[in-house]
Structure 1
Amino acid sequence: MTGIPMRRVVSIGECMIELASAGQGLYRKGFAGDTFNTAWYLRRQLGADWRVAYLTALGTDTTSEEMLGFFADAGIETDRVRRIDGAMPGLYMIHLDGAERSFSYWRDTSAAKQLAADPEHLDAAIGTGDAFYFSGITLAILPPADRAALLERLGTAKAAGKTVAFDPNIRPRLWPDPAEMRRAIEAAAGVATICLPSFPDEEAAFGDGSPVGTAERYLGLGADEVVVKDGPAPALVAYADSRETIAAETVTQPLDTTGAGDSFSAAYLAARLEGLSPVDAARKGHVLAAQVVQHYGALIR
């Protein structure tokens, strides 16, 4: 790619220690988390003229060092990872019921809660990016002042013409109350170029009656384009005066839906950054998500 300038997409959030069942009461350790999963797949979907970086915070313990090495081995740049003495990554365990999953979390002292606490570090991370991705979980783990600082800088990036993608990824138990959660999600939509909500989450949190209602609400909040994911049901792509449903890929026997929405978001964002239309990007999202649900864990190795 000689002569083509390198561009950088920065994914922002928390990577955790993942414990997934290996059978016979044993668990396999991995590293995953919604925005990291998306960064992982972005690196595999984007062309060589794009770099992928991860903005988070880790400790200086052995597991943080292993995680940092895992990032680098995946081709994800680590120069925007804050290191905090005495801190450690969070941890979660996957529980499967058929292909559906639930989680147990240990994240109260996670280093990632401090990812936006250093203004100079935050300015450098955002200032060197050409596109950004973050989620409702990113917002939920941050103290209110740090959350506001991150949204302010992402709003400035959007105003400068940079792509800002946001997946609300609503997890009510991470928030002190539903009202604060809804305010933060709505504020994030206002700084987003692309919004990637999941309809079941939005129906429960905002009372939306249909994917169309979800799309119209996020467009009204300031997002330029909205893709409403709905599991194996069609996705709704909405922008300007266009509204189109895109059928999902057929998967007869899904094994594990962990990471399906994150991978859809990665393929969609990569396709848009590479110049594909929203409809074609949604098709790319469905294809990758269908591959992911046929494997255990969030990441296809």
Structure 2
Amino acid sequence: MAQQRFVSIGECMIEMSGGEDRLYRLGYAGDTLNTAWYMRALLGKDWSVDYFTGLGEDKYSGDIRAFLDANDIGTSHIRTVPGRRPGLYMIHQQDGDRQFTYWRDTSAAKLLADDKDALNAAVKGASMVYFSGITLAILAPRARGRLLGAIVKARDAGARIVFDTNIRPALWTSPRVMTSVLTAVATLCDVVLPTHGDEAPLFGDANADETADRYLELGVEEVVVKDGAGDAVIATAHERVKVGPKPGAKVVDATGAGDSFNGAYLSARLAGQSLQAAAEAAHAVAGIVIGQKGALVDPALLGSERR
């Protein structure tokens, strides 16, 4: 059987975490990269996992490529943007919670969709294409249109299209633009993975079931509504299940929890598991991730969750 291909599209950033005694640890992260990481850890070898973004020609862009290559995440389609660099963010503790400060004005990833041919080549032959609301938010409107055009072409060629709305209001020009784009884009997708707590203030959903219903009414085939430590609602036109995490998980660092949930859920579904079993696997992986520092945990820690 020919190898199938998962393509994740978005922004990989330099992460500076820690800060104790003014010492920081350099790493790499980003919502779509995090999900690609867990897809690679959990999918069998009959799948390849590629990451599509924009990077520069500087040392840190080269380091990111090397990091992805070393972890068997494909980089052959990454767009090189001269004069640009990866975005950067720092994490610090404030008022008992993690706070983020970003530098991404000259991020190469903001130009990832400026070359139509490169974009089409990146998704050609994909079995599944994954992207997020952040992917859309960092792009100029015309570039956003090019990205969606390539995604539609991939869908028409047989790819399943998966979208995490991942709402970040600060990245959008206005709430009206954000909600209209997210709603329109969802109509193009087979699977949507929203987070109820992010959606409710914008769309007025009273609970996770209403979030699921809203996307089903748009024609989405499969909706997976995350709700933090609450029950996830997984719904299709013919089936609905509610699955909560097992109690007792220790939260060390919640970074990447939702992204790891996505990767575990999607990999389980691609392996033929039911909605219920896939959601249980997703909660189990997210429970491991929140018990470790950083968004990307060692795949060996996933143990029996690996296929």
Q: Tell me the TM-score normalised to structure 2 length.
A: 0.94
On the 8 A contact 2:120/2:150 being kept in 1, the answer is: yes
Query: In angstroms, what is the RMSD of aligned CA positions?
Result: 1.4
Q: After alignment, is 76-85 or 87-96 more displaced?
A: 87-96
Q: Is the 8 A contact 1:58 1:88 kept in 2?
A: yes
Aligned with residue 209 of structure 1, among 200, 206, 229: 206
Kept in 2: contact 1:99–1:255 (CA 8 A): no
Residues 252-261 or 164-173, more deviating:
252-261
Mapped partners of 2:144, 2:46: distance in 1: 30
1:188 aligns with 2:185: yes
Q: 1:228 aligns with which of 220, 225, 228?
A: 225
Aligned pair count reads: 298
Q: Which runs of 5+ in 2 are unaligned?
A: 299-307
Q: Which moved more, 1:251-260 or 1:84-93?
A: 251-260
Q: Is the 8 A contact 1:8 1:50 kept in 2?
A: yes
- 1:99 & 1:293 partners in 2: Cα distance? 16
Matched position secondary structure for 2:109? helix
- Select 1:265's aligned residue among 256, 262, 265: 262
1:95-114 matches, within 5 Å, as 95-96=92-93, 100-114=97-111
Supply the AA of the counterpart residue of 2:173.
P
Take 1:15 and 1:142, find their aligned partners in 2: how far apart are those partners? 14
- Are 2:271 and 1:274 equivalent residues in the alignment? yes
Which secondary structure state, in structure 1, belongs to the residue aligned with residue 50 of structure 2? strand
* Range with greater deviation from structure 2 (256-265 or 17-26): 17-26
Deviation at 1:25, TM superposition (A): 2.4
2:17 aligned with 1:20, yes or no? yes
Cα separation, 1, equivalents of 2:84 and 2:69: 20
1:143 corresponds, among 136, 140, 144, to 140
Instruction: Name the CA distance, whole Å, in 2 between partners of 1:84 and 1:160.
Output: 28
Match in the other structure for 2:48:
51
Which range moves more in the overlay, 279-288 or 44-53? Answer: 279-288
1:76 pairs, out of 73, 78, 81, with 73
- CA deviations over 1:164-200 (Å, ceiling 9, x no partner): 1110000000001011111111122111111100010
Q: Which residue of 2 aligns with 1:90?
A: 87
Runs of 4+ in 1 over 4 A off after TM superposition: 97-100
User: Per-residue deviation at 1:272?
Assistant: 1.4
Task: Look up the match of 2:301.
Answer: none
Distance 1:100 1:258, change over 3 A: farther
Instruction: Please state how far the C-alpha of 1:210 moved relative to its aligned partner.
Output: 0.7
Contact 1:96–1:256 (8 Å) recurs in 2: no
Distance 1:118 1:24 in 2: 43
Q: Secondary structure at the match of 1:24?
A: helix
C-alpha deviation, 1:155, in angstroms: 2.5
Which stretches in structure 1 are left out of the alignment for 5+ residues?
none
1:158, 1:193 within 8 Å by CA — same for their partners in 2?
A: no
How far 1:241 sits from its partner (Å)? 2.4
- Given that 1:131 and 1:164 are in contact with CA atoms closer than 8 Å, whether structure 2 keeps it comes out as yes
Q: Following TM superposition, by how much is the alpha carbon of 1:100 offset from its aligned partner in structure 2, in angstroms?
A: 4.5
- Spell out the pairing of 1:237-252 with structure 2 (5 A cutoff): 237-252=234-249
